[in-house]
Amino acid sequence: MEQPLAERMRPTTLDELLGQQRILGPQSLLRRSLERDAVPSLLLWGPPGCGKTSLAHVIKSGSHKKFIALSAVSSGVKDVKETIAAAREDRKLGQSTILFIDEIHRFNKSQQDALLGAVEDGTISLIGATTENPSFEINNALLSRCQLILFAPLGPPELEQLFWSALRDHPRGLMRSDIQFSDDAIKKIVSQSDGDARFLLNQVEWIVQALGTETAVDETLLERLQYQKPLRYDRHYDEHYNLISVLHKSVRGSDPHAALYWLHRMLQGGEDPRYLLRRLMRMAMEDIGLADPQAIRMATDCRAAYDFLGTPEGLIALDELTVYLALAPKSNALEKAGMLADELVRTHGTLPVPRAFRNAVNKTGRDLSYGDGYRYDHDSPNAYSGQDHLPAKLLGKQIYEPTEFGQETEFRRRLDYLKSLAEERKSAK
Q: Can you spell out the DSSP letters for 329-383? A: ----HHHHHHHHHHHHHHHH-SPPPPGGGS---SHHHHHTTTTTT---GGGSGGG
From residue 391, how far is each of 242, 360, 427 by CA, in Å? 43, 18, 22
pLDDT in tens, 379-397: 888 888 888 888 989 988 9
Predicted pLDDT of residue 242:
86
pLDDT in tens, 119-172: 999 999 999 999 888 888 888 899 999 999 999 889 999 999 999 999 998 999
- Which domains are seen in the chain, by residue range? 20-150 (3.40.50.300), 156-225 (1.10.8.60), 238-327 (1.20.272.10), 333-428 (1.10.3710.10)
User: Which of the 8 DSSP states describes residue 124?
Assistant: E
Nearest to 109 by CA among 151, 88, 80: 80
pLDDT in tens, 236-264: 556 778 899 999 999 999 999 999 999 99
Cβ-based burial of 168 (10 A; exposed 0-12, middle 13-18, buried ≥19): middle
Predicted pLDDT of residue 253:
93
Amino acid at 76: G
The model's confidence at residue 226, banded by pLDDT at 50, 70 and 90, is low
- Taken as a whole, the chain contains a residue count of 429
The model's confidence at residue 342, banded by pLDDT at 50, 70 and 90, is very high
- Has residue 230 got a pLDDT over 60? no
Report CA torsion sign: 76, 79, 82, 85: negative
Predicted pLDDT of residue 219:
85
The C-alpha atoms of residue 414 and residue 419 are separated, in whole angstroms, by: 9
- Has residue 352 got a pLDDT over 70? yes
